[in-house]
Amino acid sequence: MTAAPALLPLIGATAVSVKPLESPLFQPARLGPLALPNRLVMAPMTRSRASADGVPQPVMATYYAQRATAGLIIAEASTPNAVGQTYPNITAIHLPSHVDGWRRVTDAVREAGGRMFLQLQHGGRVGHPDNSGLTPVAPSPVPLPEPISTPSGPREAVVPREMTADEIRSTVADFAAAARNAVDAGFAGVEVHAANGYLLHQFLARGTNRRTDSYGGPVAHRIRFTVEVVRAVAEAIGPERVGVRIAPGLTVNGIEEGDTEEIYPALLEALADKGPAYVHVVFADPDQPLFHRIRTMWHGTLIANPVLGWGRPLPADGGREAAERLLAAGADLISLGRPFLANPDLVERLRTGAPVSQVRDEALFYTGGADGYTDYPALDGSGPVAA
Q: Which amino acid is at 378?
A: A
CA 15 to centroid of chain Cα atoms = 29
Number of neighbours of residue 88 by Cβ within 10 angstroms: 19
Do the Cβ atoms of 91 and 98 come closer than 8 Å? yes
The region that residue 329 occupies, defined by phi over 0 for left and psi between -120 and 50 for alpha, beta otherwise, is alpha
Nearest to 193 by CA among 163, 15, 182: 182
Q: What is the 3-state secondary structure (H, E, C) of the chain?
A: CCCCCCCCCCCCCECCCCCCCCCHHHCCEEECCEEECCCEEECCCCCCCCCCCCCCCHHHHHHHHHCCCCCEEEEEEEECCHHHCCCCCCCECCCHHHHHHHHHHHHHHHHCCCCEEEEECCCCCCCCHHHHCCCCEECCCCCCCCCECCCCCCECCCCCEECCHHHHHHHHHHHHHHHHHHHHCCCCEEEEECCCCCHHHHHHCCCCCCCCCCCCCCHHHHCHHHHHHHHHHHHHHCHHHEEEEECCCCCHHHCCCCCHHHHHHHHHHHHHHHCCCEEEEEEECCCCHHHHHHHHHCCCEEEEEECCCCCCCCCCCCCHHHHHHHHHCCCCEEEECHHHHHCCCHHHHHHHCCCECCCCCHHHCCCCCCCCCCCCCCCCCCCCCCC
Q: Is there a catalytic annotation at residue 198? A: yes
Choice among 198, 215, 264, 278 that is catalytic = 198
Task: Supply the Cα-derived Rg of the chain in whole angstroms.
Answer: 19
Nearest one of 135, 159, 176 to 274, comparing CA atoms: 176
CA 386 to chain CA mean position, Å: 25
Tell me which residues are annotated as active site. 198
